[in-house]
């Protein structure tokens, strides 16, 4: 059952990711990305991260992606033009990608030969309660700093996107 689940959503995720990369139109890429995120959210559930799964759906698939789509529509971005080029990326990109994947895979296989296994419900530490407890005890300072970060980000976004810079 776990296998089925994993393969199904892993497949969806990879397929959507491929789609993100190959689609010519940004809006299609964006929608594909939503698919990736949703399937990752399911995998989170399987890994026992229920809070994160919900956050993933709400924050990523919801807020962030909506923002993307807004911008795409606002700028009326069409299919990308073919002008411009990067010799470095075109020549070295494909072999590098293969090498990257190979070395990552090698590292994973080498580093986790046996590894543990994941079963649904095998870990229940990812509830909202647990996360909340950790956030407000051990990770209180980073958490608070995060609020500053977000504030700065908001201000930065406002300043940058203002109509006239004076």
Name which of residues 32 to 91 contact another protein (CB under 8 A): 33, 36-37, 40, 43-44, 46-49, 51-52, 55-56, 59-60, 63-64, 67-68, 71-72, 74-75, 77, 80-89
User: Rule CB under 8 A: is residue 140 a binding residue for another protein?
Assistant: no
Q: Alpha-carbon distance 112 to 162, whole Å?
A: 50
Query: Cβ of residue 71: shortest distance to another protein, in angstroms?
Result: 5
Nearest 5°: CA angle at 126, between 125 and 131? 100
Query: Cβ of residue 65: shortest distance to another protein, in angstroms?
Result: 8
Query: Cβ of residue 69: shortest distance to another protein, in angstroms?
Result: 10
Task: Give the residue, chosen from 12, 54, 57, 131, that forms a contact with another protein under the rule CB under 8 A.
Answer: 131
User: Rule CB under 8 A: is residue 119 a binding residue for another protein?
Assistant: yes
Task: Give the residue, chosen from 118, 136, 140, 144, that forms a contact with another protein under the rule CB under 8 A.
Answer: 118
Name which of residues 94 to 113 contact another protein (CB under 8 A): 96-97, 99-101, 103-110, 112-113
DSSP state of 82: -
Cα dist. 34→15, 64, 66, 94 in Å? 12, 10, 10, 26
- Cβ neighbourhood burial of 34 (10 Å; 0-12, 13-18, 19+): buried
Helical (H) or strand (E) element with 109: helix 87-111
């Amino acid at each position: 059952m776990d296998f089925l689940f994993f393969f199904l959503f892993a497949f969806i995720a990879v397929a959507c990711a491929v789609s993100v990369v190959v689609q010519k139109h940004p809006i299609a890429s964006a929608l594909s990305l939503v698919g990736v995120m949703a399937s990752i959210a399911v995998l989170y559930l399987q890994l026992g991260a229920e809070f994160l799964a919900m956050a993933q759906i709400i924050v990523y698939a919801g807020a962030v992606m909506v923002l993307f789509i807004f911008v795409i529509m606002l700028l009326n971005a069409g299919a990308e033009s073919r002008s411009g080029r990067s010799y470095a990326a075109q020549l070295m990109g494909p072999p590098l990608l293969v090498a990257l994947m190979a070395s990552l895979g090698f590292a994973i296989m080498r580093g986790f030969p046996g590894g543990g296994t994941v079963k649904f419900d095998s870990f229940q530490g990812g509830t909202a309660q647990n996360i909340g407890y950790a956030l407000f005890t051990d990770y209180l300072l980073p958490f608070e700093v995060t609020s500053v970060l977000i504030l700065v980000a908001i201000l930065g976004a406002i300043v940058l996107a203002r109509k006239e810079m004076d």
